[in-house]
Structure formats: C-alpha cells, structure tokens
Structure 1
Amino acid sequence: MTDFSEVAGFAFEYTRQLATKLQAKVEVMHILSTPVDWVRLDKDKEKFYPETLNAIANAKSNLSSIVHDLEKQGINAFSSLIYSFGSETVFEHVQNAEPDFVIMGSEGRGAKKPFYLGSTAQKVLRNIKTPILIVKEEPAHKEIKKIAFLSTLEKSQKPVFKKLKKLADLLGAQLDLIFINTPYDFHESAEIDEMFNEMLESDNTTQHFLINSRDAENGVIYYAENNQPDILTLAKTEKSGLTKFFNPSLTENLAKTHNFPILSICLEE
C-alpha cells in the first residue's frame, strides 16, 4: 500500500526484501480519494473533473514505475489503483484480496493529528485482521536479520510464534522471544521459565529475553534500543465497538509513538 511519499519508499524497501527472499507476489496498491463515486461515474462526465483525471494519470504512472522496479529485481508484481469515495474502500479491498500480509508506511513520531482521529495506518491496524507491517523509517540493513516477538507466552500465542519461526528460517533471520515482567502482572522466575519452555519446546535456536519493567511499553523500548530488531512483532487481540477507539492497544500505542517497524498479527480465534 503506497501513497508515493518518502515513508512509502521505506515500506517499498521492506517489501523488496521480503518478496525477494520469500519469492512472493506483490500487489502495489494506491488509494485515490475522488470527489464523486468514480467507479459509477459516466465516462462522458469525467471531463468535468480535470484535477481528478490528472491525479489518476500521475498515480498510474507512479504505480507503473514501482512495478517496473520490482520486476527488474525478479519479483512478480502488479498494481491496483483504488478509487475511494468513502473510508471503507481500503478495508474492503484488502479483505477481498486476502493477502498474506500488508506492508505500509506511516507518519513518524511527532504527527500532529490527535490519536482518536487516526492515520490511515492506524485505521487499517484497527480494522483488518491480516498481518500488517507498519514502517516509519528506512531499513537499517539490506536484509532482515532479526525478528523479535513480544509475547505474553500464553498458549494462544503459540501459533504466532510458530509462524514467525518459519518466517525467520525462510529469511535466514534470528528470532528473539521477549517476555516483559511488570509489577501489575508479575510472574515468579520459575513460572516464567516454565512458560518459555512450553513456548520454545525443543527449539534451541530462538533467543529468549526476560525484561523486568514498570510497564510493557518501557520494556519494549529497552529491548529495541539494546537489540535493534529489524521487525518487532506483537500479537493483538480483537476489540469491538467503541472500546477500540478509547482504549488503544499496546500495538497501536507503539505504532503511534515509536519509529521501529512493527508487525501486528491478530490472534486466531
């Protein structure tokens, strides 16, 4: 998903890295807001919207250039230009396309919009169950070499751990498993050891980290600053109704306030 901005270019670089390693097919999608329902607009009336016609031409040209760049690197790619006359278009398209995951850029730290209004990235993060990689900065490395999974070590998160382990193996990357022990949800050392063992089973290649912190967010920052993962993964739970607008998850808070790349995976029901 791209808006042709600088940060979308950073997302493009992650896309290139992942698609090259995984031999994945890439859809390059752009959402273009239109003053009318462009899909249903009669062809003979399009001339009354010269600015929109110009925006469409520019978008198609930019999309073609991105697809060409990917194809030059041996990546199977195609583009989609989505005309948006309503906020649900992006969600409907992603749901219908059923991608393995979505990669998109988001504004960096210090965005002026209040959180409850939300950026496009935050809206997608809240409303789509597909795994989503939110990117804010240029990749630190030419290849993804370290994936971190911040986990509660509950049994419900084991399928996510297994998927990430498979992804890390395909990428030739290190997988780190992190548990943050806080005063409000404190666990004894013996209990934590048992949870790690149950999650890891016989896996001796995954590094695991126990971080004691006053809250989860500070623990994440401590880990990220000291270990510099290429991707930080969190498994989110679904919220319904107005709750998700006034009680943002840890995933959303981190995506809003910090610049490390975040992969959000929805827990299976």
Structure 2
Amino acid sequence: MTSPMKKILLPTDLSPVSAHALTYALPLAQRLKAEIQMLHVATKVPVDAGSPKTLPTTAADWAAQQPALAEYSEVPISYTETQGAEATDLILEACESEKPDMVVMGTRGSGGLRPGALGGVTISVIQNSEVPVLAVPDSAHYKPIKHIAYATDFNNESFNVVKTLIAFSRLLDARLTCVHVRGEHEYWDRVKRMYYEQLYSLDQVTPSLDLAILHGDNVLHSIQEFARTHEVDLMAMLNRRRDLIDSLYGHSLTREAVLHCRMPLLAFHNQVQH
C-alpha cells in the first residue's frame, strides 16, 4: 500500500523538546517509508537547552548528537536552516514551500509553554497549518502506535479525515477507533448506521475500525479516559476555525488536548482532501 505521508517536516530549535519529537518521527518515518526534512528554526528568543557554549548551531550538528539517529540510519534526512522573528511564520512558510505530508513537533504541555519556543508555537501551527501536525508531549514515552483514537462528530469533514486515518492505520498495522462524546438529544444509532454505510460504499470498512459512543459532561476528559482504559497510543482530532460556542469539536478542544494530553496528538486541518 502506498503511504499517504511520504515527507515529514520536523521543526527544531535544537532543544530537548525537539529531540523528544525526533524519537517519534524516526520510527514513524521508517514504518511509512518517508523522508524527514529537519528545519532548524532560529528566532530571536533563545532556547534553554544548556550552556550556549556547548550548544550545536545547525540542525545537522544537533542531529548528530541524538542517540536515536543511529538506530534509524536508513531513514532519509535533509537539513534546512531558517531564521526570523516568529517561529510560527517560519514553519508555515516551510509547509507552503516544501509541501510536507505531516509536521512533527514537540510540546512541553501545560505550564511549560514559553513564547517563541517550539513547545509554545505548536498550537499556533496547528491552528494555521493545512498540513496534519503531530504534537508530541515531552512527558510521552515512545511506543509503537497500535491503537489510534479519533475524536469525531461524524460530519462530512470528519469523514474525510477517517479515510486518511484508515490508510494511515493500515500502514502502521494499528486499530482505529472513532470516538464521540454523546450529547443529550443525539440519535447516534442512526448516525452510526449512516456512517458505516458511507464507509462501506467506499470499501473502507476493515476489521480494525471501530466506533465508540461515550457519555460525559467533559469532552476532553471523557476521551482521555477512553484512551487510558483502551490502551490508545495516538489521539487524533480535526481542528476547526470556529468559535467555541459554535463547535463542540473546535480548535479550542484541540488546544486543550495539546496542553493537557500526555500522549501524541495528530491534528488535521478541516480541509483534508481525499
């Protein structure tokens, strides 16, 4: 099967947070048979990764110091240097010019987001990028992705993401569960039937695809509890540019997930093509 993700962009500020993201990007690239483009994002805001006298100054020098790199020497890696005032703008410009299929970024999570550091701009990139972004918390310990949970409200935009995730999960030999937190007046038996009918019509249903309807007042807490009790390795969400009042699954939920989730989060833009 042809991989839907052949090029991975890995922005780095040469910090431990970026190094942790690299530990996810390398095995993922190996499994997807993808290349990694490492983008050194140098801004006016300094990183806090040790003494300036001992810090590497280029992405290639920094990568050479990462133990994980030696384990995945067969993964093609290229290096690019860029400099400017705003890290988010530099990364979005690279997405536009290099056309990656995925961006992998590290984040410190709640309480650890400094303005300018890559952990702090991950949310901004998710909100503005049309490329899927994999946010890797520095507290997450790497393990192979065998179960993906996708938070969905079963609309057409979400359906497009599911098709991409089905192909993605097949390549990883992973299970995919579409998870919805049910509202009080929703008739989800009918919606689930229609959803399966759409998948069947496209020959997309596989034994590794499942649907889960949850009940709870707190959407993120309900999804996180499902992830904890069902051994989920990767959470996926659709990022939408809507007001919080207008959308239960808007980018505010994605932002909270990036801030508080202890597992990697794959965020899709609302214009995923199929």
Tell me whether the two structures share a fold, i.e. TM-score over 0.5.
yes
Q: How does 1:210-229 map to 2 (within 5 A)?
A: 210-229=213-232
**Counterpart amino acid of residue 173 in structure 1:** A
Write the letter of the residue equivalent to 1:227: H
Aligned residue in 2 for 1:57: 57
Classify the secondary structure of the residue corresponding to 1:177. strand
Distance 1:78 1:204, change over 3 A: closer
Per the alignment, residue 131 of structure 2 pairs with 130
Aligned residue for 1:249, secondary structure, equals helix
Counterparts of 1:35-54 in structure 2 under 5 Å? Answer: none
Going from structure 1 to structure 2, the CA distance change for 1:178 and 1:200 (only over 3 Å counts) comes to: farther
Q: More deviation in 170-179 or 87-96?
A: 87-96
Using the size of structure 2 for normalisation, the TM-score is 0.77
Tell me the CA shift for residue 93 of structure 1.
Answer: 1.8
What is the CA-CA distance between 1:138 and the residue it aligns to? 5.7
Structure 1 counterpart of 2:109, one-letter code? G
Distance in 1 between the 2:40 and 2:62 partners?
10
Separation (CA, whole Å) in 2 of partners of 1:15 and 1:228: 21
- The one of 252, 269, 273 equivalent to 1:249 is 252
Letter in 1 for 2:126: L
Cα deviation for residue 59 of structure 1 reads 5.0
Q: Residue by residue, what CA displacement relative to the aligned partner does 1:88-125 show, whole Å, maximum 9, x if unpaired?
A: 222212221110010000113333669xxx92111111
C-alpha displacement of 1:140 = 4.3
**1:31 aligned to 41, 46, 49, which one?**
41
Residues 13 and 139 of structure 1 are in contact (CA less than 8 Å); yes or no, is this contact kept in structure 2? Answer: no
1:9 matched to 2:8? The reply is: no
**Within-5 A mapping of 1:16-165:** 16-34=26-44, 57=57, 60-65=60-65, 69=69, 72-87=72-87, 88-111=89-112, 119-137=120-138, 140=141, 142-165=143-166
Deviates more, 1:136-145 or 1:161-170: 136-145
Q: Deviations along 1:187-239, whole A, 9 cap, x unmatched?
A: 12432432442354261411221101113222212212212322111112235
Between the two proteins, the alignment pairs up a number of residues equal to 244
Contact 2:146 2:172 in 1 (8 A): yes
Larger Rg belongs to: 1
One-letter code aligned to 2:153: T
Rounded Cα–Cα distance in structure 1 between residues aligned with 2:104 and 2:95: 11
Paired residue for 1:169?
170
1:193 lines up with 2:192 in the alignment: yes
Pick the aligned partner of 1:263 from 248, 266, 272.
Answer: 266
- On the 8 A contact 1:234/1:262 being kept in 2, the answer is yes
What CA distance in whole angstroms lies between the structure 1 residues aligned with 2:237 and 2:183?
17
Provide closer, same or farther for how the CA distance between residues 86 and 157 of structure 1 changes in structure 2, counting only shifts above 3 A: closer
Query: Which range moves more in the overlay, 68-77 or 214-223?
Result: 68-77
> Does the C-alpha gap of structure 1 residues 238 and 25 become closer, same or farther in structure 2, counting only changes over 3 Å?
same
Q: Where do 5+ consecutive residues of structure 2 fail to align?
A: 1-10, 46-51
**Secondary structure at the counterpart of residue 262 of structure 2:** coil
8 Å contact from structure 1 (residues 176, 208) kept in 2: yes
TM-score, L = length of structure 1: 0.78
- Give the drift of 1:171: 1.1
Shift of 1:257: 2.2
Match of residue 181 from structure 1: 182
Relative to structure 1, the CA distance from residue 79 to residue 112 in structure 2 (aligned partners, 3 Å threshold; closer, same or farther) is: closer
- Please tell me whether the aligned partners of residues 14 and 56 of structure 2 are also in contact (alpha carbons under 8 angstroms): no
- Aligned mates of 2:68, 2:189 — CA distance in 1: 54
Percent of paired sites with the same residue? 21
- 1:111 and 1:63 mapped to 2: Cα distance? 23
**How far, CA to CA, are the matches of 2:54 and 2:112 in structure 1?**
29
Letter aligned with residue 149 of structure 1 = Y
Taking only aligned residues, the RMSD between alpha carbons, in angstroms, comes to 3.2
For the 8 Å contact 1:67–1:79, the answer to whether it is kept is no
